[in-house]
Structure 1
Amino acid sequence: MAPRATWKGYVKLSELAFPVALYAGATTSKRVSFHVLNRKTGHRVHRQYFDEETEEPVERDQQVKGYETGEDQYVILQPEEIAEAVPESDKTVHIEAFIACQDVDTVYFDRPYYIAPSGGILGESFAVIREGMRRKNVAALGRAVLFRRVRKLLLRAQGPGLVANTLNFDYEVRAAEEVFRDLPEIKIEGEMLELAKHIINTKAGQFDPREFDDRYDLALAELVKAKMEGREIKAPKRPKEAKVVSLMDALRESAKAQKKAASSKRKKAEPAKRRKAG
């Protein structure tokens, strides 16, 4: 089944505008999910709001939103007042600037989306802008009203389309200095630095998300399957906590293990090479 667009509108760059469709780039639909049930009856249960003072249930039509201004003091906002504050969407992604792809710190990335042309010969305009961005190795910084909020977006060329990330606002991103300010400056050099470099080199690899696994989700799926089949549920073995005597000892042991693994790999490969040569 073809994916369904979550938003349709236009990308506007100066006087040029072309129709596009926005598709969710990530989904949680394949995760194991549960319903809350009544243990006695097996029926699903539903949430109910209660007044914290009277402990009486509050029906939906009696619920309003309030902003806390002090202890037990609130400014009440009516649904129509909130609706009026929601920015009106013109269904347009306004391109404000082109920037170097590496200029945006990844901590500002929020949700990923794919952008594709939504039809007609105007797909050519889409392709021209996309290819120009690819050749210049730049990203487009845009603005749009998405899902009732004004959002900043970073658009980048990817394959025949564009990938967009909504961006966190500056006030939403915690400054790294808040976490790192008390970390001491430690000068690393000599043998310790060489060992660290060696370990990093022996562990060099490539990014491949197909190798990722959600062990918690897999464990839940296996648990559900075992219950359905009436099998005995065995508790997984807990890994033993590693005891590190010193950083240097740990680095040396890691380096030895990496060298041993590399040597074993070479020995296995040599007979294969001889057989091929023969």
Structure 2
Amino acid sequence: MAPRANWKGFLKVAEVTCPVALYTAASTSDRIAFHTLNRQTGNRVHRAFVDSENGAPVERDDQVKGFDIGGGEHIILEPDEVADAVPESDKTLSISAFIPCGEIDDVYLDRPYYLAPADARDNEAYALIRDGLRARKVAALARTVLFRRVRTLMIRAHNDGLIATTLNFDYEVRPAAEAFADIPDLKIEGEMLDLARHIIDTKAGSFDPSTFTDRYEAALADLVKAKIEGRKIKPAPRPKAAPTSDLLTALRQSAGVGAGKGERRSSAAGARHGRGAGGASRSAPKAAAGAQRRKAR
């Protein structure tokens, strides 16, 4: 069965328009979910809104939005007032600019959606926009009212279609300086930096999402299955605390470089001759192969 569209409208660039639909690209709906139960009866527990002062239940029709103005006082906003304040949607994703794909910092990326044609008769206009973005290696910025809020979306080509990612507003992204304010100004160089580069080079790879498993979800699934079958499940092993060591020693061990003076000298010499921190260790397999050939002769 085809997925249900979250939103339908039009994608417009200049005078070119095509009907499109947004589909959820990432969802947590397949995660294991639990109900809250009454331990005594086994019945499900339902949440209820109650008055914070007298504890009396508040019916849905008596629940209204309120903005705290301080001192325990609120301004009440009626549903029709909120509805009138929200901008009306014209159901149009109007492209306002094209930017390099890597120009937007990842912290501004919010939620991805698949943006697909909504009418087969306009596939040509859709393909034109998609192929134009791919050919110029750019993404499009568009705005529309999405789920009652004016949102900016970044649209980029992806395989045979388009991906539209909602963007966080500037006020929603906290300044990085607040998180990094206490980081001291350190400059790493010499052997430590060479070893770090070597470790990174030896672990170079590519991203394959199928290799990353949700261990928490898998553990919950095993637990539920065991409970259904009446089996006891063994507790997961607790990770042991890693032994403490100085950073340079840890780097040498990670890179497979000895901590003795001779090894340090060979590592440094390898770095000076352009072989990097792993120069000595990389030449070891060749030396061993040569020794085996000589022994065979």
Using the size of structure 2 for normalisation, the TM-score is 0.85
| Pairs aligned (count) | 262
SS in 2 for 1:166: strand
C-alpha distance in structure 2 between counterparts of 1:86 and 1:213, whole Å:
41
Cα distance, 1:155 vs structure 2: 0.2
Structure 1 stretches lacking a partner, 5+ long: 271-278
Matches within 5 A, 1:1-278: 1-256=1-256
SS in 1 for 2:256: helix
C-alpha distance in structure 2 between counterparts of 1:253 and 1:68, whole Å:
57
> In terms of mean alpha carbon deviation, does 117-126 or 24-33 score higher?
117-126
Q: What amino acid is the match of 2:240?
A: K
Cα distance, 1:120 vs structure 2: 3.3
C-alpha distance in structure 1 between counterparts of 2:192 and 2:102, whole Å:
31
% identity of equivalent residues: 59
Cα distance, 1:181 vs structure 2: 2.1
Q: What amino acid is the match of 1:207?
A: F
Cα distance, 1:122 vs structure 2: 1.6
C-alpha distance in structure 1 between counterparts of 2:116 and 2:45, whole Å:
41
SS in 2 for 1:102: coil
Match in the other structure for 2:295: none
Using the size of structure 1 for normalisation, the TM-score is 0.91
C-alpha distance in structure 2 between counterparts of 1:202 and 1:120, whole Å:
48
Cα distance, 1:182 vs structure 2: 2.1
Cα distance, 1:243 vs structure 2: 2.1
Q: What amino acid is the match of 1:178?
A: E
Cα distance, 1:39 vs structure 2: 1.1
Cα distance, 1:18 vs structure 2: 0.9
Cα distance, 1:121 vs structure 2: 2.8
Cα distance, 1:38 vs structure 2: 1.2
C-alpha distance in structure 2 between counterparts of 1:207 and 1:5, whole Å:
29
Bigger radius of gyration, 1 or 2?
Answer: 2
C-alpha distance in structure 2 between counterparts of 1:86 and 1:223, whole Å:
46
Q: What amino acid is the match of 1:219?
A: A
Moved segments of 4+, more than 4 Å: none
C-alpha distance in structure 2 between counterparts of 1:46 and 1:81, whole Å:
30
Cα distance, 1:244 vs structure 2: 2.2
Cα distance, 1:84 vs structure 2: 1.1
C-alpha distance in structure 1 between counterparts of 2:112 and 2:171, whole Å:
20
Deviations 1:177-225 (A, max 9, x none): 1111221111111000000001101111101111111111111111111
SS in 1 for 2:120: coil
Q: What amino acid is the match of 1:104?
A: I
C-alpha distance in structure 2 between counterparts of 1:70 and 1:14, whole Å:
47
